[in-house]
Structure 1
């Protein structure tokens, strides 16, 4: 009998839309919700969280530590299958892989994403921190700009996901919205889920890929589809809005990198990521 994998926090829209159902050992049924689309493409962070949910059920440890995803073909709303495989189980860490599969109109199976991940237990980590990283300098939440505040416009085709996210951008990173990009590859903002669900390790996989692309502030107008995304979850986030800072230092050959940091309400660096993305004009 199929068994639904229960969400870990309440019954939020994020939890419902990342739910998976165990059909057979290592095989999960999922439904890709159209509510997480950006310009008709499903957000890569949402997809990463969906696979992360399945891996969290399949592996012996609960929390994602390192998740690396290669995006092989464009996912579309509708049914999908996630196939997982446990590669190693140790005392403190488990490693596994997962693939998200959809069927084309002719019934052919197409792999959309392949993930390699290591899971552990964040509650078992030492409290010791030695870091030179500092939280991003940005205005207070009430002085940043949301989608309804202007001059930040709704991105064409992205209204679905914007209804599910509460993003308030640092005014210094929204020159693109009025036709005056800074030329710097920077994007900063406050982030939370619109329905009030507190962040957890799984939702951090969405957070690192939720802000507008840094390419906008470089002066590019097209979207930047993700080729590869690696996320490191460093701590369980405290309740409250998160601060996200994303930078790009090098755009060459039609590709750029985006380095993201996510900080919680207690000034802790709770997640980091790097992705390779393809530019479009």
Structure 2
């Protein structure tokens, strides 16, 4: 039972070598990083990503650029191995394949692209002060944000704290002006919104590329944002939202801690638009942003948004299942250990 930095640690099995076609990294799935009784999808993707980062760290392509994870079967607590191999190495990018394996069964299969996020001279970047540049989407500075509770069956909730953005949540209310123009002749709704400042708890905890995989999978999704009369009986706190696919695109390296950037706090912004069959399948889009200070600290200064930037974006497909399915999957997997 460990904070996220330790809970995502993996070690190279030095007995594995290139003659096997892949290298093997080993670790243990920590019991605290679970939703109900099943490990969080972003957390287990972080384990595979951390293995690939260590696999690539001494190369000219040390930074994850793009990560695609397909969840074939729910993971379980206990030992795992990540089998990593190079698919293609080019001048600008390296394609890496990695499978997270337990009980000789592949639980997650991934395809990752590595490169360098080091800024290049004379390179083009769409950023402020351009009016076309994306700016920080949260309305409240982290120093003024009010903590909100996590009404989810998350066993890791004591390892993080967050402050939801009330301005974004207000836009989901049925009486908000943005919905009044939606009718049979309009182009349709713009989806539901959510955002929050999130801080990793624990001494020495900091945001890393691997932890971004986890952070990109903790948010209030579309079923949880719907007004109660639109949920058709679904109760978010009694529902499991297992991840089927999770895609990450890293935009920039994580900046060192400074007066402009926090080491342990990030901003999340999420939208959800579609939900339907089979099994309550729904989509999510999420942005991970730097934070100008730690949650609950710092001083708001003019123009603080233009000093921040997006670290990563994520898209995901997930299901909506009763929590009883979560418990049964965990029980079945543990019986196979």
The question of a shared fold, defined as TM-score above 0.5 by the shorter chain, is answered with yes
**Pairwise CA distance, 1:173:** 5.7
Bigger shift: residues 82-91 or 224-233:
82-91
Query: Number of paired residues?
Result: 254
The residue that corresponds to 1:178 in the other structure is none
The within-5 A match list for 1:225-240 is 225-238=242-255, 239=257, 240=262
**Pairwise CA distance, 1:85:** 1.2
Question: Is the contact between residue 247 and residue 260 of structure 1 (CA under 8 Å) also seen in structure 2?
Answer: yes
- Please state if 1:112 is matched with 2:107: yes
Instruction: Give the number of the structure whose alpha-carbon radius of gyration is greater.
Output: 2
**Pairwise CA distance, 1:163:** 1.4
**Pairwise CA distance, 1:174:** 6.1
Shift in alpha-carbon separation, 1:83–1:65, aligned structure 2, 3 A: same
Match of 1:278 among 319, 327, 330: 319
Q: Which has the higher contact order (CA 8 A, sep 6+)?
A: 2
Aligned mates of 1:201, 1:189 — CA distance in 2:
19
Two-structure CA RMSD over aligned residues (Å)? 2.3
The within-5 A match list for 1:109-188 is 109-125=104-120, 128-130=124-126, 132-147=133-148, 152-156=149-153, 158=154, 160-172=155-167, 182=173, 185-188=192-195
Aligned mates of 2:207, 2:11 — CA distance in 1:
22
State the TM-score, normalizing by the size of structure 2.
Answer: 0.69
Question: Is the contact between residue 215 and residue 224 of structure 1 (CA under 8 Å) also seen in structure 2?
Answer: no
Misfit runs of 4+, over 4 Å: 124-127, 172-175
Gaps of at least 5 residues in structure 1 are: 1-11, 104-108, 176-180
The residue that corresponds to 2:9 in the other structure is 19
For residues 26-79 of structure 1, what are the alpha-carbon distances to aligned partners after superposition, in whole Å with 9 as ceiling and x for unaligned?
111110001111122211111111111111122332211000000111111110
Aligned mates of 2:143, 2:37 — CA distance in 1:
30
**Pairwise CA distance, 1:140:** 2.8
Aligned mates of 2:53, 2:82 — CA distance in 1:
12
Gaps of at least 5 residues in structure 2 are: 18-22, 127-131, 175-190, 292-306, 323-337
**Pairwise CA distance, 1:279:** 1.9
The residue that corresponds to 1:250 in the other structure is 274
Match of 2:55 among 55, 58, 70: 58
State the TM-score, normalizing by the size of structure 1.
Answer: 0.82
The residue that corresponds to 2:76 in the other structure is 76
Question: Is the contact between residue 204 and residue 233 of structure 1 (CA under 8 Å) also seen in structure 2?
Answer: no
The residue that corresponds to 1:263 in the other structure is 289
Shift in alpha-carbon separation, 1:13–1:35, aligned structure 2, 3 A: same
